[in-house]
Amino acid sequence: MRNWGGFNMRSESHLFIFIASKANCQRKFKKNKMIQSEIKDDDIINQENQILADIKSSQLAIGPRESPESLIVNYIESETLNDQNFWLLGISDINKRYKHIRRVRGDGNCFYRAFLFAYLEELLFRLKSDDNEQREGGKREVDRMMNVMKISKDDLVNLGYSEFVFETFLDVS
Give the amino acid at 136. E
pLDDT tens by residue, 118-147: 999 999 999 999 999 999 999 999 999 988
Q: What percent of the chain has pLDDT over 70?
A: 71
Q: Is the pLDDT of residue 10 over 60?
A: no
Which CA distances in Å does 135 have to 118, 124, 139, 144? 17, 9, 6, 14
- The mean pLDDT of 23-33, rounded to a whole number, is 43
Residue 129 or residue 19, greater confidence? 129
pLDDT tens by residue, 148-171: 888 888 888 899 888 887 777 666
How far apart are the C-alpha atoms of 167 and 154, rounded to whole Å? Answer: 11
- The mean pLDDT of 2-29, rounded to a whole number, is 33
Between strands 6-8 and 101-103, the pairing is parallel
Given this model, what pLDDT does residue 24 score?
36
The answer as to whether 65 is a domain residue is yes
Given this model, what pLDDT does residue 29 score?
45
Given this model, what pLDDT does residue 40 score?
72
The answer as to whether 53 is a domain residue is yes
Given this model, what pLDDT does residue 8 score?
32
Q: Is the pLDDT of residue 35 over 70?
A: no
- Average pLDDT along the chain: 75
Q: What percent of the chain has pLDDT over 90?
A: 27
Given this model, what pLDDT does residue 34 score?
47
The answer as to whether 1 is a domain residue is no
Which CA distances in Å does 48 have to 53, 105, 129? 9, 16, 44
How far apart are the C-alpha atoms of 142 and 25, rounded to whole Å? Answer: 56
Which CA distances in Å does 68 have to 2, 5, 119, 143, 154? 16, 9, 19, 33, 42
Given this model, what pLDDT does residue 105 score?
87
Helix (H) or strand (E) holding 54: helix 41-58
The answer as to whether 44 is a domain residue is yes
Given this model, what pLDDT does residue 79 score?
64
The answer as to whether 154 is a domain residue is yes
What domain count does the chain have? Answer: 1
Given this model, what pLDDT does residue 120 score?
93
The answer as to whether 126 is a domain residue is yes
Which CA distances in Å does 112 have to 75, 109, 127? 25, 6, 22
The answer as to whether 52 is a domain residue is yes
The answer as to whether 16 is a domain residue is yes
Name the residue range of residue 133's domain. 6-172
pLDDT tens by residue, 37-84: 556 788 888 888 888 888 888 888 899 999 988 888 877 766 666 777
